[in-house]
């Protein structure tokens, strides 16, 4: 094969296999993956969260916590940024014992009609990153887990929260989102662009666990100039989205 990224090996067990090097813990079955660090910190403080494992990496700890909303066990953690790190940490959390995941994060929008804070339930992801090619045969996109999508849609419908369901573009290179690529992604139906979804979806599919993801509209890449829209300052949106995901996750 000319390109190493396309040399998919279907051998299921790797040289460093998570289930062989990580000891399972007493973990909740349900887990929210939250990309909003300040929200994780606030919930940990206000809900007296229990640290289940510190899970230290070279950039520092990525602890997994437990809270008990309405008496139900729920794990939560911040996964880092980028497909490589988030996929590897997801591998570890699966090996620890979690099995049902809902992730919440933000994304750049490719459609100007998607306002800051508008929600997008991910139905598929364009595989313009590296991780997914080590978990799935080469292909253009990865399809979201139907159970995870349905849990999010049902929760949002029940609460009367408007949302879109659609495709995202996952890329490793946010500073190489060129105008030509943006046009191509828009033409194939992508509503958003982010850095992690395709990789995490591929890991979840490979490991046979449930995974769903919802994004909220952030910066705008749909026009002739980039508009940050101060999307990371929307604290109420970010915390509310965590609790929507918690509710959806616990229905799985």
Tokens coding 232: 């990371």
- Asked whether the predicted pLDDT for residue 252 surpasses 70, the reply is yes
Of the candidates 215, 33, 211, the one whose C-alpha atom is nearest the C-alpha of residue 121 is: 215
What pLDDT, in 10s, does the model give residues 143-184?
999 999 999 999 999 999 999 999 999 999 999 999 999 999
Total Cβ atoms within 10 A of residue 160: 6
∠ CA(173), CA(176), CA(182), 5° rounding?
Answer: 110
**Contacts (Cβ under 8 Å, ≥6 apart) of 119:** 156, 161, 162, 163, 164, 214, 215, 216, 217, 241
Residues in the chain: 252
∠ CA(86), CA(91), CA(96), 5° rounding?
Answer: 120
Tokens coding 139: 């292909």
What percentage of the chain exceeds 70 in pLDDT? 99
| Structural domains of the chain in order of their starting residue, each with its CATH number | 24-250 (3.40.50.1580)
Write phi, then psi, for 204 (nearest 5 degrees). Answer: -60, -40
**3-state SS string for the chain:** CCCHHHCCCCCCCCCCCHHHHCCCCCCCCEEEEECCHHHHHHHHHHCCCEEEECCEECCEECCEEEECHHHCCEEEECCCCCHHHHHHHHHHHHHHCCCEEEEEEEEEECCCCCCCCCEEEEEEEEEECCHHHHCCCCCCEEECCHHHHHHHHHHHHHCCCCEEEEEEEEECCHHHCCHHHHHHHHHCCEEEEECCHHHHHHHHHHHCCEEEEEEEEEEECCCCCCECCCHHHCHHHHHHHHHHHHHHHHCC
Q: How far apart are CA 125 and CA 131, in angstroms?
A: 13
Q: How far apart are CA 145 and CA 103, in angstroms?
A: 12
**CA distances, 240 to each of 67, 218, 247 (Å):** 16, 15, 11
Of the candidates 154, 158, 210, 233, the one whose C-alpha atom is nearest the C-alpha of residue 33 is: 210
pLDDT at 231: 64
- Asked whether the predicted pLDDT for residue 93 surpasses 80, the reply is yes
- Asked whether the predicted pLDDT for residue 233 surpasses 90, the reply is no
Quickly state the pLDDT bin for 187 (edges 50, 70, 90): very high
What pLDDT, in 10s, does the model give residues 106-117?
999 999 899 989
- Asked whether the predicted pLDDT for residue 195 surpasses 90, the reply is yes
What pLDDT, in 10s, does the model give residues 46-58?
999 999 999 999 9
């Amino acid at each position: 094969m000319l390109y190493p990224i396309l040399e998919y090996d279907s051998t299921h067990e790797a040289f460093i296999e998570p289930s062989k090097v990580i000891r399972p813990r007493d973990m909740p079955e349900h887990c929210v993956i939250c990309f909003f660090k300040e929200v994780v910190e606030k919930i940990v403080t206000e809900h007296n969260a229990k640290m289940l494992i510190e899970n230290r990496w070279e950039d520092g700890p990525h602890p997994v916590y437990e809270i008990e909303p309405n008496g139900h066990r729920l794990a939560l953690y911040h996964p880092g940024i980028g497909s490589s790190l988030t996929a590897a940490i997801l591998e570890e959390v699966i090996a620890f014992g979690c099995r049902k995941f809902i992730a919440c994060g933000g994304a750049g929008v490719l459609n100007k009609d998607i306002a800051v804070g508008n929600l997008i339930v991910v139905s598929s992801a364009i595989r313009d990153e590296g991780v997914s090619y080590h978990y799935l045969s080469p292909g253009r996109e990865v399809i979201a887990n139907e159970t995870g999508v349905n849990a999010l849609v049902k929760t949002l419908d029940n609460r009367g929260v408007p949302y879109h369901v659609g495709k995202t573009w996952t890329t490793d290179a946010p500073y190489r989102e060129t105008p030509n690529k943006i046009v191509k992604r828009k033409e194939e139906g992508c509503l958003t662009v982010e850095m992690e979804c395709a990789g995490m979806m591929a890991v979840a599919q490979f490991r046979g666990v449930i995974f769903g993801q919802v994004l909220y509209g952030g910066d705008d890449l749909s026009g002739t100039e980039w508009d940050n829209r101060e999307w990371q300052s929307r604290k109420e949106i970010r915390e509310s989205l965590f609790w929507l995901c918690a509710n959806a996750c616990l229905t799985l």
